């Protein structure tokens, strides 16, 4: 288990005042954050730009020392025992860096593999295996500078897995990727956690991605934790509304009235079209079954029915609204 | 330490093979070349082959052309080597690979040694090219104490490597290569007995030459090359290089470690 206790990070930045004078300024990027990651679990770290996600990931992966608090990885201290910790973790960032563009995919992995102490047959086997699971076997002897964005990102994943890390940190791994590539990558992440039992921390801009993948989510703002729960609970606790849109044959006023009577606690709105009526229903519960019952009773034919579940995105928006109110 | 050594060596070898750094290669050869031509012209047209007696006393030889050509040769050798080792990490930083390197639990010593060992391949080619060019301008190639030359070079390489670690930390700190390296290299050309013995310098400048391994290396090389003297006669110079290396190495290792962390904190976006 990875356990971060009260970690914080303070950067000092020089602010130029004029050509000769500059002033030191303190930026508190992360502030008293507590966080755990278990094996086999995907944990999300959410927040707006500048919330401190990357800084947190850099501290967890030993690149930065926390200004305060401690991080332990299976009981080892990330600062004192950095060498052992480095062997157990790895980090993948979105974008196209962290690879040697002049080298081929296989050469990149060979280089990094050796830096993790692998060699000989074991290394070659690992390289082959990784290129296979990221689908780059055919491109293994092509220089990385000729790779597409998605291919580079997949090679990064292979690099991040070269030391078979127990814990993996992904900083916006799907940034700038096409939808199908991003989807494939999400599948890979899921497998890594669920089949290979790796503990994964994921930051992402895309809330749907987080909702789909993560078992638990930490939401941070200006470096401080504001919420920690499962995506379902966050959504349920913050957004209480289900939205159903249903298009039926034209409804007469009495039918509309009886519908309103029948759906207690819901808010209904009607839009009349030439040959149909569109009904908008907002409810604190899932009203689909009741609506269908009513339609059957009134002999109304349903042309289209759409249920919008509350999404994590709505929750975050609602939270932001609450804060600013 | 062996694995990071071989990993880095192999990586740089492949990169060199695919994209030979012609600009550095030619730059270093030219900088050696200019020194030679400058010396050649001034010897024939300014001094008119008339060396002052104080020169031979300080320089320990009358063969001015060989003196300067060897100076240029070793100057470019040393500058090349310094550049290769000191620019290693800042190049990783610029190319966005520093983080992936620092994520690994590998030994930085193995990394640097691999970097330098591979770089020496190129530096040796440069050395050979300048030597043969120097031959046409009057560098003599007989009664050379070759084992002596080799020993001087090995010690110089080790001491220069240590110096490069310190230089590399400065580059990381200032996040600059251009000003840092060129200031040092111009200085080295001036104070390290490259074209004239450092003893001609005022005291205020001479001490800078005294902390450069190159100053001793170039004098030792001249003794075993031009005069063909046995290595034992250079022993004092060799010791000074070794001591400088032993001083620079721990300082450089310490500073590089600090600068690695520093640069990760300062470099973002
Ligand atoms: N190296 C640094 N030096 C100074 N300030 C930094 C540095 N890195 C990040 N920051 C600042 O710290 C805050 C958090 O940044 P970051 O961790 O990158 O957030 P996120 O990844 O959530 O966008 C931001 O205000 C950012 O400007
Ligand atoms: Mg970020």
Specify the higher pLDDT residue, A121 or B52.
A121
How many distinct structural domains can be found in chain B?
1
pLDDT, one tens digit per residue, over B210-244 is 999 999 999 999 999 988 889 999 999 999 999 99
Instruction: Reply yes or no on whether the pLDDT at B268 is more than 70.
Output: no
Among all bound ligands, the one having the nearest atom to the CA of A46 is 1
**What's the ipTM?**
0.90
pLDDT at A324: 67
Ligand 1: residue of A33, A55, A93 to mutate (most ligand atoms within 8 A of CB) is A55
Among residues B212, B207, B209, B123, which one has the least CA distance to residue B167? B212
Cβ neighbours for B55, distance < 8 A, ≥ 6 positions apart: B64, B196, B197
Structure tokens at A59: 């501290």
Out of B4, B7, B103, closest to residue A91 by CB: B103
Ligand 1, residue A12: give the atom nearest the CA: 4
The average pLDDT across B41-64 equals 76
Tell me which of B9, B10, B98, B104 to substitute to probe the interface with A (most A C-beta atoms closer than 10 Å).
Answer: B104
Ligand 1, residue B264: give the atom nearest the CA: 1
Look at the pTM and tell me if it is higher than 0.90. no
Q: State chain B's mean pLDDT as an integer.
A: 89
CB contact under 8 A, B100 and A143: no
**Does ligand 1 come within 6 angstroms of the Cβ of A50?**
yes
Ligand 1: residue of A27, A47, A218 to mutate (most ligand atoms within 8 A of CB) is A27
Tell me which of A57, A115, A116, A144 to substitute to probe the interface with B (most B C-beta atoms closer than 10 Å).
Answer: A115
Ligand 1, residue A55: give the atom nearest the CA: 17
Specify the higher pLDDT residue, B156 or B1.
B156
pLDDT at A215: 94
Q: What is the rounded distance in angstroms from the CA atom of residue A277 to the CA atom of residue A252? A: 9
**Does ligand 1 come within 6 angstroms of the Cβ of A63?**
no
Q: What is the rounded distance in angstroms from the CA atom of residue A78 to the CA atom of residue A189? A: 24
Q: Which domain holds residue B44?
A: 2-268
3-state secondary structure A162-188: CCCCCEEEEECCCCCCCHHHHHHHHHH
State CA B259 to chain mean position distance: 22
Q: Ligand 2 centroid vs B94 CA: distance in angstroms?
A: 19
Tell me which of B103, B109, B115, B259 to substitute to probe the interface with A (most A C-beta atoms closer than 10 Å).
Answer: B103
Out of B3, B95, B96, closest to residue A119 by CB: B3
CB contact under 8 A, B103 and A114: no
**Does ligand 1 come within 6 angstroms of the Cβ of B265?**
yes
Q: Ligand 1 centroid vs A29 CA: distance in angstroms?
A: 6
**Burial code of B140-153, b = ≥16 C-beta within 10 A, e = fewer?**
eeeeebeebbebbb
Residues of chain A with pLDDT under 50: none
């Amino acid at each position: 288990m990875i356990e971060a206790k009260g970690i914080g990070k303070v950067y000092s930045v020089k602010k130029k005042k004029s050509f000769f004078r500059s002033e030191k300024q303190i930026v508190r990027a992360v502030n008293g954050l507590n966080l755990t990651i278990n094996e086999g679990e995907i944990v999300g770290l959410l927040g707006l730009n500048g919330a401190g996600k990357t800084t947190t990931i850099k501290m967890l992966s030993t690149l930065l020392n926390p200004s305060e608090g401690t991080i332990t990885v299976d009981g080892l201290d990330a600062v004192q025992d950095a060498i052992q910790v480095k062997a157990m973790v790895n980090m993948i960032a979105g974008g196209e860096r962290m690879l040697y563009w002049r080298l081929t995919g296989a050469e990149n992995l060979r280089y990094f593999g050796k830096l993790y102490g692998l060699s000989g047959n074991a290394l070659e086997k690992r390289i082959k295996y990784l290129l296979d699971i990221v689908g780059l076997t055919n491109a293994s002897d092509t220089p990385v500078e000729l790779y597409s964005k998605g291919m580079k990102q997949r090679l990064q994943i292979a690099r991040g897995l070269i030391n078979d890390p127990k814990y993996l940190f992904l900083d916006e791994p799907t940034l700038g990727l096409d939808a199908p590539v991003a989807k494939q990558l999400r599948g890979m992440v899921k497998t890594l956690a669920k089949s290979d039992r790796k503990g994964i921390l994921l930051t992402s801009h895309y809330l749907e991605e987080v909702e789909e993948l993560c078992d638990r989510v930490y939401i941070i703002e200006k470096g401080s934790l504001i919420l920690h729960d499962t995506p379902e609970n966050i959504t349920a606790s913050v957004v209480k509304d289900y939205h159903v849109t249903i298009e039926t044959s034209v409804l007469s006023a009495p039918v509309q009235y009886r519908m309103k009577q029948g759906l207690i606690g819901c808010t209904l709105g009607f839009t009349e079209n030439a040959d149909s009526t569109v009904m908008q229903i907002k409810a604190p519960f899932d009203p689909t079954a009741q609506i269908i019952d009513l339609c059957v009773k009134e002999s109304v034919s349903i042309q289209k029915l759409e249920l919008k579940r509350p999404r994590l995105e709505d929750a975050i928006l609602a939270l932001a609204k609450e804060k600013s109110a | 330490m062996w694995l990071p050594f071989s990993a880095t060596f192999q990586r740089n070898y492949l990169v060199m093979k695919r994209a030979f750094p012609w600009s550095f290669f030619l730059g270093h050869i030219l900088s050696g070349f200019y020194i030679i031509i400058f010396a050649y012209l001034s010897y024939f047209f300014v001094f008119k082959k008339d060396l002052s007696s104080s020169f031979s006393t300080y320089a320990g030889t009358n063969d001015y052309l060989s003196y300067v050509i060897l100076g240029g040769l070793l100057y470019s050798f040393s500058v090349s080597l310094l550049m290769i080792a000191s620019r290693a990490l800042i190049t990783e930083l610029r190319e966005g690979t520093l983080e992936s390197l620092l994520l690994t639990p590998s030994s930085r010593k193995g990394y640097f040694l691999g970097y330098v060992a591979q770089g020496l391949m190129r530096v040796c080619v440069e050395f050979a090219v300048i030597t043969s060019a120097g031959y046409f301008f009057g560098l003599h190639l007989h009664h050379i104490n070759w084992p002596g030359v080799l020993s001087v070079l090995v010690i110089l390489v080790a001491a220069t490597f240590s110096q490069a670690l310190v230089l590399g930390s400065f580059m990381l700190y200032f996040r600059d290569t251009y000003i840092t390296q060129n200031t040092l290299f111009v200085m080295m050309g001036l104070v390290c007995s490259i074209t004239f013995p450092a003893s001609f310098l005022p005291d205020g400048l001479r001490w800078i030459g005294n902390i450069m391994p190159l100053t001793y290396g170039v004098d030792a090389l001249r003794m075993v090359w031009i005069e063909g003297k046995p290595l034992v006669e250079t022993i004092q110079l060799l010791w000074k290089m070794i001591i400088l290396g032993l001083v620079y190495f721990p300082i450089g290792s310490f500073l590089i470690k600090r600068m690695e962390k520093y640069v990760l904190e300062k470099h973002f976006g």
